[in-house]
A and B are shown apart, each in its own frame.
Chain A
Amino acid sequence: MWNYIIRRLLWVPFLLLVVSFISFMLFRLGPGDPVLVILGNKYDPSSQSAQNLREELGLDKPLMVQFANYSVNFFQGDFGESYRYRGQSVRKLISAKMWISAQLSLAALVISTTIGIPLGFFIAHKQGGWQDPAIVTICLVVMSIPVMVFVPVLLWLLCLKNLWLPFWGGIPCSGWGGLFDQRIIVPALSMGLPGVAVFVRLMRASTLDVMKQDYIVTAHSKGLGPFVIDTRHVFRNAVIPIVTILSFSLAGLIGGAIITETIMGIPGIGRLAVQSVFDRDYPVIMAITLITAGFFAIANLLADITYALVDPRIRYR
Chain B
Amino acid sequence: MTQNVKTEQEIKSFKTKGHIHRAFDRLIRKKLAVGCLVILGIIYLSGITVDWISPYGYTDQDYTQIRQSPNSSHWLGTDRAGRDVFTRVLWGIQNTLILTFVGMLTGGLILGVTMGLVSGYFGGYIDAIIQRTGEIVSSIPTFFLILIISATVRPRIIEFVRWVEDNSFLEGLVRGGIVDYFVISLSLVSFGWIGTARLVRGQILYLKETQFIDAARSIGVSTPNVLFRHLLPNAISPLIVTVTMGMGSMIGAEIFLSWIGLGIQPPRPSLGVMLWESGNISVIRTEPWLMFAPGSVAFLMVLAWNLLGDALNDVFNPRTY
A143 to B252, CA, bound (A): 11
Give the nearest-CB partner of B142 in chain A. A255
Q: Is the CB of B281 within 8 A of A152?
A: yes
CB-contacts of B138-179 with A (<8 A): 138-141, 143-144, 147-149, 151-156
- Partner-contacting stretch, out of B12-20, B46-54, B57-65, B298-306: B298-306
**Is A137 an interface position by the 8 A CB rule?**
yes
List chain A residues, Cβ under 8 A from B291: 149, 152-153
- Partner-contacting stretch, out of A24-32, A77-85, A177-185: A24-32
When A30-B155, A137-B32, A143-B306 are in contact, do A155 and B281 touch as well, CB less than 8 Å?
A: yes
Q: Is the CB of A255 within 8 A of B144?
A: yes
Q: B279 touches which one: A149, A172, A252 (CB < 8 A)?
A: A149
Interface centre among A136, A159, A289 (most CB of B within 10 A): A289
Q: A145 touches which one: B144, B151, B152, B299 (CB < 8 A)?
A: B299
**Is B248 an interface position by the 8 A CB rule?**
yes
Give the nearest-CB partner of A294 in chain B. B139
Give the nearest-CB partner of B147 in chain A. A277
A151 to B280, CA, bound (A): 9
List chain B residues, Cβ under 8 A from A285: 148
Q: Is the CB of B136 within 8 A of A146?
A: no
Q: Is the CB of B152 within 8 A of A29?
A: yes
Provide the A145-180 mask, 1 if CB < 8 A to any CB of B, else 0.
Answer: 110110111011001100000000000100000000
**Is B109 an interface position by the 8 A CB rule?**
no
CB-contacts of A273-317 with B (<8 A): 273-274, 277-278, 285, 288-289, 292-293, 296-297, 300
Provide the A13-48 mask, 1 if CB < 8 A to any CB of B, else 0.
Answer: 001001100110011011100000000000000000
When A141-B303, A255-B141 are in contact, do A148 and B151 touch as well, CB less than 8 Å?
A: no
**Is A115 an interface position by the 8 A CB rule?**
no
Give the nearest-CB partner of A252 in chain B. B141
List chain B residues, Cβ under 8 A from A145: 299
Q: Is the CB of B140 within 8 A of A258?
A: no
Q: Is the CB of B307 within 8 A of A137?
A: yes
A260 to B303, CA, bound (A): 20
**Is A239 an interface position by the 8 A CB rule?**
no
Q: Is the CB of B307 within 8 A of A140?
A: yes
> Within the complex, what minimum Cβ distance (angstroms) separates A127 from chain B?
8
List chain A residues, Cβ under 8 A from B299: 144-146, 149
List chain B residues, Cβ under 8 A from A26: 148-149, 152-153
Q: Is the CB of A259 within 8 A of B256?
A: yes
Q: Is the CB of A146 within 8 A of B255?
A: yes
Q: Is the CB of B255 within 8 A of A258?
A: no
List chain A residues, Cβ under 8 A from B155: 30-31
List chain A residues, Cβ under 8 A from B298: 146, 149
> Within the complex, what minimum Cβ distance (angstroms) separates A84 from chain B?
15
A-B contact count (CB 8 A): 127
> Within the complex, what minimum Cβ distance (angstroms) separates B179 from chain A?
13
> Within the complex, what minimum Cβ distance (angstroms) separates A256 from chain B?
9
Provide the A182-223 mask, 1 if CB < 8 A to any CB of B, else 0.
Answer: 000000000000000000000001001000000000000000
List chain A residues, Cβ under 8 A from B25: none
A172 to B285, CA, bound (A): 13
**Is B232 an interface position by the 8 A CB rule?**
no
Q: Is the CB of A289 within 8 A of B284?
A: no
When A156-B281, A285-B148 are in contact, do A19 and B135 touch as well, CB less than 8 Å?
A: no
A278 to B255, CA, bound (A): 18
Q: Is the CB of A289 within 8 A of B148?
A: yes
When A144-B306, A208-B320, A252-B141 are in contact, do A263 and B136 touch as well, CB less than 8 Å?
A: no
Extra contacts, 11 of them, besides A258-B256, A274-B260 (Cβ < 8 A), are A22-B136, A27-B148, A146-B255, A146-B295, A146-B298, A148-B275, A153-B284, A273-B144, A278-B261, A285-B148, A300-B139
Cross-chain pairs A/B with CB under 8 angstroms, 8 sampled: A140-B306, A156-B281, A159-B281, A258-B256, A263-B279, A273-B147, A274-B147, A297-B135
Residues of A within 8 A of B (CB): 15, 18-19, 22-23, 26-27, 29-31, 133, 136-137, 140-141, 143-146, 148-149, 151-153, 155-156, 159-160, 172, 205, 208, 252, 255, 258-259, 262-263, 270, 273-274, 277-278, 285, 288-289, 292-293, 296-297, 300
Residues of B within 8 A of A (CB): 32, 135-136, 138-141, 143-144, 147-149, 151-156, 248, 252, 255-256, 259-262, 272, 275-276, 279-281, 283-285, 291, 295, 298-299, 302-303, 306-307, 310, 320
